[in-house]
Amino acid sequence: MTQGDGRGGSELLIAAASVVPAGPGSPVMTPGYVALADGVITDVGAGPPPRAADLELASGVLLPGLVDLQVNGHFGVDLQTAAADGWTEVATRLPETGTTAFLPTFITAPIGELSAALRGAAALVPGLTGGARVLGVHVEGPFIAPNRRGAHNEAWITTASAAAVAELQEAGRGVLKLVTLAPERNGVLAAIDQFTGAGVLVSIGHSDATARQVAQAADHGARMVTHLFDAQRPLHHREPGVVGQALADPRLTSGLIADLRHVCAEVCGIAFAAAPGRICLVTDAAACAGMPPGRYLLGGEPIELPPGDGVPPVRADGTLAGSGLRMDTGVANMITAGVGLADAVAAATRIPADLIGRPDIGRIARGAAADLAWLGDDMRARATWVGGELVYSRSGQELA
């Protein structure tokens, strides 16, 4: 076998210098091997493979495919306003970053516009094949705190009425998977009940809530915090705020924008130490990700990507507005911040996959989907497989 895509019942045995299974307590295998067939992983082990490998990766590290729960856009495409060709572009090209599954993210907009965007997504998603898996849609807002709005348009922030929640649920039927809201706002605890009752994951974000209010949200079923430290009440030694409760409450897993600009390296290390197994990496990537400096859109409104390596985009007033981050770079950044390889990889694979209710992805284990990313020694994606199919190779050549 030469192509190594695992398609159509074919088998593929990969030997790698390092394999990170990303399971709880699973050690890094140096070396290790992974066997694929019919789109799933059939075997994984440490040491040399049981037969001659079809593909040998003599350098770098083989990981589960990366899972990103917050992608506003990429490659010049703002997903909230894009047509089908834009969605195809993003899904097809995200494997260049090692990402094999993601949640397109819509930010605060008038309820009618959000509903229209959700209906559009519901029509588009079933037809997207051949690239990264679209796990559903993340709606970030509009039930958020005006004083913690970040790059969101204050004029479009609204009250979480039962009717507004029902409209979003109906429009997003089958595709709405995650909602970010501020629990201290009027009507939001009832909204959490509505969303969780419909199987939608609720995250706390863009919030000025106290620790007690965050705990109440968790009592009602909230299980996530959106971009920890950013656009939320910070940790204080007498009022833990959103940050303190997020780190202390075992029911909550926190997204962390891993660009080392939104959150500095030392504080990223503190988060991992304070909440082991409860940090998941996100990019919060905007349309400017993977593009040169210039003007782009976030949620249909302009942002500017300044020159400079890793510099995030901003609104006209200088407010940070998403990022230009790649997911593989996010993993590398966390290693730079002192997080161990296994923990950094788990935070970008198994932990977000489990949080969104997809235990079939985000790990290298028997029976899991054969979604894999091979990162080179520079921690940049060199090859990516989705469902056992080779969907990206850095050289542009088939792996043999």
> Are 293 and 269 within 8 A, CB to CB?
no
The pLDDT of residue 6: 38
Mean pLDDT of the chain: 96
Can you give the pLDDT at residue 168? 98
CATH 3.40.605.10 fits 66-355, yes or no: no
* The predicted structure's pLDDT at residue 395: 79
Contacts of 10 (CB under 8 A, 6+ apart): 1, 37
Give the pLDDT confidence score for residue 397 in this predicted structure: 56
Listed range (1-5, 49-53, 143-147, 322-326) with the worst mean pLDDT: 1-5
How many residues are there in the chain?
400
Q: Furthest-apart CA pair in the chain: how many Å?
A: 63
Residue 1 has pLDDT above 80, yes or no: no
**How buried is residue 25: exposed, middle or buried, by Cβ count under 10 Å (0-12/13-18/19+)?**
exposed
Q: Is the pLDDT of residue 8 over 70?
A: no
For residue 53, is pLDDT > 90? yes
Band (pLDDT 50/70/90 cuts) for residue 130 is confident
Does 284 participate in catalysis according to the annotation? yes
pLDDT at 289: 98
Q: What is the pLDDT of residue 123?
A: 97
The pTM is what?
Answer: 0.96
Average pLDDT over residues 314-339: 98
For 356-398, what is each residue's pLDDT tens digit?
999 999 999 999 999 999 999 999 999 999 999 999 999 765 6
Taking alpha carbons only, the member of 261, 259, 247, 236 closest to residue 204 is 247
Per-residue pLDDT, 396: 65
Cis ω before 142 (30° cut-off from 0): yes
293/266 Cα distance (integer angstroms): 28
| Per annotation, catalytic residue among 54, 284, 328, 371 | 284
Domain boundaries, the chain: 11-63+362-393, 66-355
Chain center to CA of 302: 23
Per-residue confidence at 167, pLDDT binned at 50, 70, 90?
A: very high
pLDDT (tens digit per residue) in 63-107: 999 999 999 999 999 999 999 999 999 999 999 999 999 999 999
45, containing H or E segment: strand 40-46
Q: Do domains 11-63+362-393 and 66-355 have the same CATH topology?
A: no
Looking at the predicted structure, is the pLDDT value of residue 44 above 50? yes
CA distance 311 to 349: 25
pLDDT at position 5 = 38
Q: What is the pLDDT of residue 86?
A: 98
Distance between first and last Cα of the chain: 8
Within 10 angstroms of residue 193's Cβ, the number of other Cβ atoms is 14
**Which burial class, exposed, middle or buried, applies to 97 when counting CB atoms under 10 A from its CB (0-12, 13-18, 19+)?**
buried
Q: Does 3 score more than 70 pLDDT? A: no
Q: pLDDT tens digit string along 224-283?
A: 999 999 999 999 999 999 999 999 999 999 999 999 999 999 999 999 999 999 999 999
Quote the CA–CA distance of 173 and 140 in Å, as a whole number. Answer: 17
Q: Which CATH class is domain 11-63+362-393?
A: mainly beta
Give yes or no for residue 2 having a pLDDT over 50: no
